[in-house]
Chains A and B, each alone.
Chain A
Amino acid sequence: MKVKDSYQISTQPVRTERIDRLYQYITSSTYGICVERARLLTEYYREHPDQAPIVRRANAIDHVLQNMSIYIMPGSLFAGNHASHPRWAPLFPEFDAQWMEDEMIKGDPYFPDKRPEDRYIFPEEDKTVVQEICDWWKGKTVTDILCTRLPKEAVDTHFHIKAADIGAYFQGGDGHFAPDHPWLIQHGVKEIIRGCEEGLRKIDYKNDPECIKKRDFYEAAKISAKAVIKFAARYADLAEKSAAKESDPVRKTELLEMADICRHVPENPARNFREALQFIILTHICIQIEDNGAGISFGRFDQFMQPYYEAGIMDGTLTKELATELTENFFLQIYTCNKVRSWGDTDFFRGVPMFQNLTIGGVDPETMDDATNDMSYIALDATYNTRIPQPSLTVRFHKKTPMEFKMRVAEVVRLGTGLPSIFNDETYTRAMMNRGYEMKDAYNYCIIGCIEPGAPGLLGGRTGGAWLNCTKALEMSLYNGKDPRTGICLHKNKSGKTLATFETYQEAEDAFVDQMKYYIKMEAILENTIDQVWEEMLEEPMAAIFACPTTTIPRGKPIKQGGAKYDLTGQQTIGTANIANSLYVIKKLVFEDKAVTGAQLQHALETNWQDEETNPTGPQIKAMCLAVPKYGNDVDEVDFIARDMLGMIATELSSYKNTRYGRGPIGGTLHCSTSTVSSNTPFGHVCGATPDGRDAYMSVADGQSPMRGTDVNGPTAAIASVAKLHNELFSCGSLYNMKFSPEELS
């Protein structure tokens, strides 16, 4: 294998013995399912039916944390595990137990270890436990309640037509926030407990109509904060026991240090670099155990770690090499976290992603100068050397980013692991300020989940949400609102026409816009019903105190009651390239060139380009459609359709309020992202042939990238097209995939 085929395959990483051993240890562990969390949580819920929902939840998670298996990985300098083995996934039956029963007990459609991909070991002896868990949760889960509470139109949209899919949040929990790590490591969890006690003392039982809700919140928040401290103490005990048995004196010292650290953090402020990392691991893991949400971000890692790095270098306790090793150890530690989804939902999340994003670079929001520092380079080195998919490394670029740093970023990109992804401060901050962010908070953004911006410690809601299948909306607009695959018609075109009967291009575009707006309304109903049900059943104290401690605690409100400074509901808009290319084909071929009639094109779509009896034939019509210029080649006519349609979608989305609007936070609406995960594949599976020349059921385009293989005029033309979009409207982030041959970067 030559370097020019893949730098990743042809080059060897530089790792210390410790890091290499940990890498081997973790990657040799196969994905598996751990029933401990589900069993312990169910045990608590079953035995304590009478508590306030938020208090019951805090206690149930405490019960999990105090009784789940804990272990210390060989050679690791950090403690903290998510499940019984590295990369095993806990279960969250309170969200959805039906899929667990179907798959783990009945093997429908597959047993977890028999899946075609994304397989998980599932011990045979755990079947009985899962059956008991499922039996108890029947009729009580979030999904059970949602299926009753959602209007039929929204159910059809999600389950049948698949014009929007929000399965991840049926099965999930929010996730998708950046905890206030800088505040937490500086104050310690004890400050949260102090804040809650003060809040409890100050409750105005005479005048405050929310006094009881506040009391419940503070009680729950205290339980959660103390649970994390007790969880850390369990590791301290284990480290001491392991040290007593350890024959290697070096390892013995490491374990005793670990015990000391875990007795100190996260209760107290971190005293040094290693303690800060240990603090973050423990809070991060507790958040991951509270719910099944993904996308828990580490915020601006280089910014809040740099003072600890500098202090360690100054007092001689740290070297660059040791800081790098600790950072790599930290990366490997969090790589052990994993979450499993139902087989159906897995289609949207191929390759077991966890979206544990970590941001470096950018500007200092106070001085507006470049903020690149030693830790920015160390994080790049750690990604280069560990060569694991987590954390998802993000780099912020701006006008003053040093060339040296950009070149190092380019070297890491050249490795070909897909990391880091690169973000433009100028446009991202403008997009955020357009949704009400103050400038200093916008310039302090980090990336959450895939590509979504948020101010760490200040953003509630979730940056993820439903996938919106724009290609499906387009397809239905061609058939007077009817979904040709299922035959369901929820919303007829205003004109009552089809592609065969549109008299002008404008009629076709208007029909698409109308269908799109209807399905955006369905998405908003799905998003807000889920949030409403969570607020009633599953308020999350752990997320509240770690995501936004500086607002939730003074206000006495968890996130879903309006506890965050900013609160926006994110989502993912899929298929930009397909809608733009399809509309342009209709405009050009049918109405400008009159090369085919609308009826001919519609017939070709309905027969998936297969009908050889027509004149022109199906394959000929497909060739004509493919020959029309596509988005991604710097052709204004089609690029402007992409710009205007995606702009319309973004504007429409943000006109819908979320359930926190007017309850405290700034924002309080939905907003648009072009993140995809792997949804373009399952969304393609439900969409018939489209006028852009795409075959029926083939994957649609990813993100706001050109449709794969159709950007044929070089990278300069491709970036010009993508940059033409109304990027400042995508306040929930943009996703653009580009691929290079390795030899181009030599």
Chain B
Amino acid sequence: MENTVQINRNDGLKRFVSIIDQYFAMGGNQIQFNVVSKKTLLEAQKEPDKYANLLVRVAGYSAYFTQLSKDVQEDIIARTEEKL
């Protein structure tokens, strides 16, 4: 422990997997994720043509962000960006 602060490029992914494991161990049923920065979503709102292929999770399905109504876009933008 004293000798290394290893930079492992999968540390974030491992923490992510352990959050799912923890949630399921507690009795959680289901989980799904958006992995996108607010910055990207705001840029996509401004320049929809450039981001035409950007997929996001709405609810039990994914859709092209720029094709969603403003209300649904705002809903996704306003969701809490969690930190691991």
Residues on the B chain within 8 Å of A419, using CB? 55, 57, 62
Contact call B30/A723, Cβ cutoff below 8 A = no
User: In the bound complex, what is the Cα–Cα distance between A423 and B78 (angstroms)?
Assistant: 25
Contact call A730/B29, Cβ cutoff below 8 A = yes
Residue among B24, B34, B63 making CB contact with A740, cutoff 8 Å: B34
Contacts A451-B60, A675-B60 given; indicate if A737 touches B34 (C-beta within 8 A).
yes
Fill in one digit per residue for A694-730: 1 if any B CB lies within 8 Å of its CB, else 0: 0000010011011011111011101110111001101
B70 CB to nearest A CB, Å: 8
User: In the bound complex, what is the Cα–Cα distance between A553 and B74 (angstroms)?
Assistant: 49
**Closest partner residue, chain B, to A397 (CB atom):** B24
Residues on the B chain within 8 Å of A392, using CB? 60-62
Contacts A118-B67, A677-B59, A740-B33 given; indicate if A715 touches B72 (C-beta within 8 A).
no
User: In the bound complex, what is the Cα–Cα distance between A737 and B78 (angstroms)?
Assistant: 12
User: In the bound complex, what is the Cα–Cα distance between A4 and B40 (angstroms)?
Assistant: 10
What are some 12 contacts across the A-B interface (CB < 8 A)? A4-B37, A351-B63, A407-B13, A414-B35, A417-B62, A421-B30, A421-B57, A699-B74, A708-B75, A737-B32, A737-B79, A739-B79
A745 within 8 A of B: yes
Residues on the B chain within 8 Å of A705, using CB? 79
User: In the bound complex, what is the Cα–Cα distance between A742 and B17 (angstroms)?
Assistant: 14
Chain A CB count within 10 A is highest, among B35, B37, B83, for B35
Which residues of B from 20 to 61 have beta carbons under 8 Å from A? 20-24, 26-40, 51, 53-61
A residues contacting the other copy or chain, number (CB 8 A): 91
Top 7 nearest A-B pairs by Cβ distance? A450-B60, A351-B63, A418-B57, A734-B29, A421-B32, A418-B62, A723-B26
Chain A CB count within 10 A is highest, among B20, B27, B58, for B58
Contact call B28/A351, Cβ cutoff below 8 A = no
**Closest partner residue, chain B, to A393 (CB atom):** B62
Contact call B60/A416, Cβ cutoff below 8 A = no
Contact call A353/B61, Cβ cutoff below 8 A = yes
Contact call B69/A387, Cβ cutoff below 8 A = no
Residues on the A chain within 8 Å of B78, using CB? 708-709
Residues on the B chain within 8 Å of A728, using CB? 27
Chain B CB count within 10 A is highest, among A420, A684, A715, A720, for A715
Contacts A355-B60, A708-B78 given; indicate if A719 touches B55 (C-beta within 8 A).
no
Contacts A352-B63, A737-B59 given; indicate if A416 touches B35 (C-beta within 8 A).
yes
A87 CB to nearest B CB, Å: 12
A345 within 8 A of B: no
Residue among A678, A709, A714, A722 making CB contact with B83, cutoff 8 Å: A714
User: In the bound complex, what is the Cα–Cα distance between A706 and B19 (angstroms)?
Assistant: 17
Q: Give the contact stretch, choosing among A139-147, A204-212, A424-432.
A: A424-432
A736 CB to nearest B CB, Å: 5
Residues on the B chain within 8 Å of A426, using CB? 24
Chain B CB count within 10 A is highest, among A353, A354, A684, for A353
Residue among A355, A389, A420, A745 making CB contact with B16, cutoff 8 Å: A745
A99 within 8 A of B: no
Q: Give the contact stretch, choosing among A5-13, A35-43, A281-289, A497-505.
A: A5-13
A493 CB to nearest B CB, Å: 31
Contact call B30/A678, Cβ cutoff below 8 A = no
Residues on the B chain within 8 Å of A485, using CB? none
Fill in one digit per residue for B1-24: 1 if any A CB lies within 8 Å of its CB, else 0: 000000001101111110111111
User: In the bound complex, what is the Cα–Cα distance between A279 and B15 (angstroms)?
Assistant: 41
Contacts A355-B61, A389-B63 given; indicate if A742 touches B37 (C-beta within 8 A).
yes
Residue among A5, A416, A424, A730 making CB contact with B55, cutoff 8 Å: A416
B-side interface size class: 35 or more
B46 CB to nearest A CB, Å: 13
**Closest partner residue, chain B, to A349 (CB atom):** B61
Contact call B23/A719, Cβ cutoff below 8 A = yes
User: In the bound complex, what is the Cα–Cα distance between A678 and B60 (angstroms)?
Assistant: 9
Contact call B68/A351, Cβ cutoff below 8 A = yes
User: In the bound complex, what is the Cα–Cα distance between A719 and B55 (angstroms)?
Assistant: 24
B83 CB to nearest A CB, Å: 6
A358 CB to nearest B CB, Å: 12
Contact call A116/B69, Cβ cutoff below 8 A = yes
Residue among B23, B38, B57 making CB contact with A737, cutoff 8 Å: B57
Residues on the B chain within 8 Å of A714, using CB? 82-83
Contact call B40/A719, Cβ cutoff below 8 A = no
User: In the bound complex, what is the Cα–Cα distance between A411 and B19 (angstroms)?
Assistant: 15
**Closest partner residue, chain B, to A411 (CB atom):** B13
**Closest partner residue, chain B, to A413 (CB atom):** B33
Residues on the A chain within 8 Å of B60, using CB? 355, 392, 421, 449-451, 675-677, 735
Residues on the B chain within 8 Å of A6, using CB? 35-37, 40, 54
B28 CB to nearest A CB, Å: 4
User: In the bound complex, what is the Cα–Cα distance between A347 and B69 (angstroms)?
Assistant: 9
User: In the bound complex, what is the Cα–Cα distance between A570 and B34 (angstroms)?
Assistant: 26
Residues on the A chain within 8 Å of B39, using CB? 5
Residues on the A chain within 8 Å of B53, using CB? 8, 27, 387
B14 CB to nearest A CB, Å: 7
User: In the bound complex, what is the Cα–Cα distance between A716 and B84 (angstroms)?
Assistant: 9
User: In the bound complex, what is the Cα–Cα distance between A387 and B75 (angstroms)?
Assistant: 23
A84 within 8 A of B: no
Contact call B55/A389, Cβ cutoff below 8 A = yes
Contact call A5/B26, Cβ cutoff below 8 A = no
B69 CB to nearest A CB, Å: 5
**Closest partner residue, chain A, to B72 (CB atom):** A350
User: In the bound complex, what is the Cα–Cα distance between A741 and B80 (angstroms)?
Assistant: 10
Residues on the B chain within 8 Å of A451, using CB? 30, 60
A418 CB to nearest B CB, Å: 3
Residues on the B chain within 8 Å of A526, using CB? none
Residue among A354, A715, A727, A739 making CB contact with B19, cutoff 8 Å: A715
User: In the bound complex, what is the Cα–Cα distance between A719 and B27 (angstroms)?
Assistant: 10
Contact call B16/A350, Cβ cutoff below 8 A = no
Contact call A746/B12, Cβ cutoff below 8 A = yes
Residue among A403, A416, A431 making CB contact with B36, cutoff 8 Å: A416
Residue among A5, A684, A712 making CB contact with B37, cutoff 8 Å: A5
Contact call B31/A422, Cβ cutoff below 8 A = yes
**Closest partner residue, chain B, to A727 (CB atom):** B29
B6 CB to nearest A CB, Å: 14
Fill in one digit per residue for A468-510: 1 if any B CB lies within 8 Å of its CB, else 0: 0000000000000000000000000000000000000000000
Contact call B26/A742, Cβ cutoff below 8 A = no
Other A-B contacts than A681-B71, A723-B27, A744-B82, 15 sampled, CB-CB below 8 A, are: A353-B61, A389-B63, A389-B64, A413-B35, A416-B34, A418-B56, A421-B32, A699-B72, A703-B59, A727-B27, A740-B16, A740-B83, A740-B84, A741-B35, A743-B37
